[in-house]
Structure 1
């Protein structure tokens, strides 16, 4: 009789664990992205670099003369620019719209508005791909759109 009572308890405990683990992983993924942007706001290139996976890739989508263009951006150049003194704070304000996780891969969708100091610069969406390495979640790929109007 006791094993029959134990089975529902074990099933309930495993269901609770299954529900809390994804929430904890989602928070860890979001925290990596928050650290990336906090480092950018502070001009702290080391903090930004620490959020990136080895071999990380950056892209941006722009429109020129009605044509969509995919532009690669060098993550090392970006990290260097973050750490180079500039007169205004680079402030990218994001919200987490969608976080998907499977094992050691996460995909994150974030609308954003970018400000230089208090001056609006542009907006769009970021798509992040993160991988979970021994050090934790790291950004492997960022691709974004950029525009000055129709911001969310």
Structure 2
């Protein structure tokens, strides 16, 4: 009988080890902490840019950018050769048409701030009529002037494959 009690005594603590403490699950898409107030201020002109793009409102972009800045797209032409397209904010804005906008979204932005300069690096996708048209990485350069963040440059990669949002 003693031979049976010893193995049973070893097994007795196992139910206690199997217990878990209830943990509230992380809501999908909220794994990163919310941006600090500085980070939120840096994201504000980017979000305003996206709202202008969705409306097709090129004129509204001007208040969020430095006019001497650039928009640079890097991708591949249909024949696979590398392609770089650069234009001023004015040229970029002139191509927008009211009612013919598109929706651009970023997620998991990496935000770096040093005094009055900031950089935001984030995956993005663009949707036209509810369908993803392209995706890549957005890289924004921002400068704070008179206490207000404005976009100086945006450089982005662009592709039409592998655009599944995590």
May I ask how many residue pairs the two structures share in their alignment? 129
CA distance in 2 between counterparts of 1:135 and 1:23 reads: 16
CA distance in 1 between counterparts of 2:43 and 2:108 reads: 8
Unaligned runs of 5+ in 2: 1-34
- Corresponding residue for 2:85? 71
From 47, 52, 76, the counterpart of 2:65:
52
- RMSD of aligned C-alpha atoms? 1.9
From 105, 125, 128, the counterpart of 1:116:
128
Unaligned runs of 5+ in 1: 1-21
The TM-score normalised by the length of structure 2 is 0.70
- Contact 1:59-1:70 at 8 Å conserved across structures: yes
CA distance in 2 between counterparts of 1:104 and 1:128 reads: 14
From 26, 30, 36, the counterpart of 2:39:
26
Structure whose CA Rg is larger: 2
From 90, 97, 103, the counterpart of 2:109:
97
Structure whose residues are more often helix by fraction: 1
How far does residue 32 in structure 1 lie from its aligned partner after superposition? 1.1
Q: Deviations along 1:48-72, whole A, 9 cap, x unmatched?
A: 1111013111111112444433221
Structure whose residues are more often strand by fraction: 1
